[in-house]
C-alpha cells in the first residue's frame, strides 16, 4: 500500500547512483532534483511541483538513479513500489497519455543533445534526398539487400521523387551486388538469446491470441521495416526476431539500439505526431504485428498492460540514449570502446558463457561486430578494429565475425573507472 512519508528541509530522499525501487509523488512542500550534465559537467537543478511524480523513469527502466532528490522545504511525499504504481495508474488514460508525451519529449531532447554533440548538420534537403542518403549508407556498409529495400521504399513512398535517376542507379548497383553475394543470415543473437523481461513475456502471450493473427507480418533479414524521414502510418510489436534502430548522422548510420520479442517500436512518432526519426531494420527474419496508427488508442492507451510496457520501453530508451551520449563524451577511444561492452552488459545484452547461471563467471559473449562498435563509438571501422586489437593483444578480448568474447568484464570496468578517476583528479 502507498505510504505518506514526511521529509524535513535538507533531507536527502535518494542519492545519485542509488538502486531505484520506489516512485514518489510530491504531496506538499518542494523537492529539488540535482544532477550533472554529462557533456558540460555543469550542475542542473529542477524543482518538483506538488502533484508531480519523480524517480519514476529510473524505476520503470530498472536503472540506478541519475540525480539526487533533496527536500527543498519541509515536505510530504507519497511513496509507491512499481507494483503499486501499476495497480493505481496503469488504467488512468489521462495520466498515461501525459506520461507518454513527457517521456517522448525527454527522449527526443537526448537525441537532439547527441546530434548537437556530434555537430550533426541538418541540411535543407527534400525527404527523398534524405532517404537516399540512408540508402547510400547501407550500400557503403555492404548491406545491399537493405539498400535495395530502402530504394524501393523511396519509390513506394514518393510517386515522383526528384532524385529518381540517382535512386534508380543505386537500386541497380544494389541488385548487381546482391547477385554476386552469397546470402547469409545476420541474426543479431544467433542461438544465444538473452532472457525476455517478464512484462514482455506476458505481452507476447496476450498478443499471440488468434484475434491478432490478421495483423501478423513477416520481414526478411535486412528488410527496412521503418525508414527514417517517412510519414508515420503504423507501429509494430515484435513476436519473434531482432530489429536494429539506426539513425543517419553526418554521413553514416549510428546504431541507437536493438529491440526484440515483446517490444513495441514505431510508437514514438505517433505520440509526438512527427516524421520517422530513425530507421528500423530486421536483423535476421522477424515476425511482427503491424498496427495502423488508428489502432494506437485501443491497442496501447486503453490496454493498461501494453501502456506500462510502452512507458518502460520509453524509459529504457531515455537511459540508453543518455548512456550512449556519455560514451561519446569519452575522449580516449580505447576507454570509449570498453564502455560500450559495459553498456551492453548493464542492459543484459551479453551472454554469460558459463552454463551454470549461479556461478561468478566473468567471461561475457557479445553479439557485436567491429562495425557495430564503430557505429556506437562514432569512429571509423579501422579505428574500431585498432582499439579492439589492443584488448585482444592482451588476451582480454577474442574477436570473431559476428561476436566477441570478453575474458573478464571487470577488465573493461577497471579501464573505464580508471579514466573517470583520472578526470576527477585533474579537475581538482
CB 39 within 8 A of CB 325: yes
What pLDDT sits at residue 55?
Answer: 96
pLDDT surpassing 80 at residue 406: yes
pLDDT surpassing 60 at residue 284: yes
Q: What is the pLDDT of residues 358-381, one digit of tens each?
A: 557 899 999 888 988 998 898 989
CB 55 within 8 A of CB 65: yes
Q: Which helix (H) or strand (E) holds 137?
A: helix 127-140
Q: From CA 288, how far away is CA 44, in angstroms rounded?
A: 41
Give the three-state DSSP class for 328: helix
More confident residue, 285 or 192: 285
What pLDDT sits at residue 71?
Answer: 97
Q: Rounded to two decimals, what is the model's pTM?
A: 0.83
Q: What is the pLDDT of residues 232-266, one digit of tens each?
A: 889 999 999 999 999 888 888 888 888 889 999 99
Task: Identify the band that residue 300 occupies on the pLDDT scale cut at 50, 70 and 90.
Answer: confident
Give the three-state DSSP class for 214: helix
Angle at 410 between CA 404 and CA 411, to 5 degrees: 70
Q: Average model confidence (pLDDT) for the chain?
A: 89
C-alpha cell at 345: 552488459
What pLDDT sits at residue 303?
Answer: 87
What pLDDT sits at residue 121?
Answer: 64
CB 44 within 8 A of CB 16: no
pLDDT surpassing 80 at residue 196: no
What pLDDT sits at residue 315?
Answer: 92
Q: From CA 368, how far away is CA 399, in angstroms rounded?
A: 9
Amino acid at each position: 500500500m502507498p505510504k505518506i512519508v514526511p521529509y524535513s528541509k535538507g533531507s536527502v530522499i535518494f542519492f545519485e547512483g542509488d538502486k531505484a525501487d520506489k516512485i514518489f509523488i510530491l504531496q506538499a512542500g518542494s523537492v529539488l532534483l540535482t544532477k550533472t550534465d554529462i557533456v558540460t559537467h555543469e550542475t542542473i537543478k529542477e524543482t518538483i511541483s506538488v502533484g508531480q511524480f519523480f524517480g519514476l523513469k529510473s524505476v520503470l527502466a530498472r536503472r540506478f538513479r541519475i540525480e539526487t532528490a533533496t527536500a527543498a522545504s519541509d515536505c510530504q511525499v507519497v511513496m509507491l513500489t512499481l507494483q503499486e504504481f501499476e495497480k493505481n495508474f496503469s488504467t488512468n488514460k489521462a495520466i498515461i497519455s501525459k506520461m507518454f508525451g513527457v517521456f517522448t519529449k525527454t527522449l527526443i531532447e537526448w537525441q537532439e543533445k547527441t546530434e548537437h554533440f556530434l555537430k550533426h548538420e541538418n541540411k535543407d534537403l527534400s525527404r527523398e534526398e534524405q532517404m537516399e542518403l540512408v540508402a547510400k549508407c547501407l550500400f557503403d556498409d555492404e548491406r545491399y539487400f537493405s539498400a535495395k529495400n530502402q530504394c524501393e521504399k523511396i519509390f513506394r513512398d514518393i510517386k515522383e521523387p526528384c532524385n529518381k535517376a540517382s535512386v534508380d542507379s543505386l537500386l541497380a548497383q544494389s541488385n548487381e551486388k546482391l547477385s554476386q553475394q552469397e546470402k547469409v543470415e545476420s541474426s543479431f543473437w544467433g542461438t544465444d538469446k538473452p532472457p525476455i523481461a517478464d512484462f514482455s513475456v506476458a505481452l507476447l502471450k496476450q498478443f499471440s491470441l488468434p484475434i491478432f493473427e490478421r495483423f501478423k507480418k513477416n520481414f526478411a533479414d535486412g528488410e527496412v521495416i521503418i525508414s527514417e524521414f517517412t510519414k508515420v502510418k503504423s507501429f509494430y510489436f515484435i513476436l519473434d526476431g531482432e530489429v536494429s534502430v539506426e539513425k543517419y548522422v553526418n554521413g553514416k548510420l549510428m546504431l541507437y539500439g536493438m529491440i526484440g520479442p515483446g517490444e513495441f517500436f514505431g510508437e514514438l512518432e505517433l505520440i509526438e505526431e512527427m516524421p520517422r526519426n530513425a530507421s528500423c531494420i530486421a536483423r535476421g527474419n522477424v515476425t511482427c504485428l503491424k498496427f495502423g496508427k488508428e489502432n494506437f488508442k485501443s491497442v496501447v492507451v486503453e490496454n493498461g498492460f501494453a501502456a506500462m510496457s510502452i512507458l518502460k520501453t520509453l524509459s529504457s530508451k531515455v537511459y540508453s540514449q543518455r548512456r550512449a551520449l556519455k560514451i561519446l563524451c569519452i575522449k580516449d577511444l580505447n576507454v570509449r570502446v570498453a564502455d560500450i561492452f559495459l553498456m551492453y552488459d548493464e542492459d543484459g545484452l551479453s551472454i554469460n558463457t558459463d552454463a551454470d547461471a549461479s556461478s561468478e563467471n566473468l567471461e561475457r559473449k557479445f553479439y557485436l561486430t567491429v562495425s557495430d562498435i564503430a557505429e556506437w563509438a562514432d569512429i571509423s571501422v579501422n579505428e574500431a578494429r585498432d582499439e579492439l586489437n589492443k584488448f585482444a593483444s592482451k588476451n582480454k578480448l577474442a574477436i570473431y565475425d559476428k561476436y566477441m568474447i570478453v575474458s573478464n568484464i571487470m577488465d573493461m570496468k577497471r579501464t573505464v573507472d580508471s579514466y573517470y578517476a583520472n578526470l576527477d583528479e585533474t579537475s581538482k
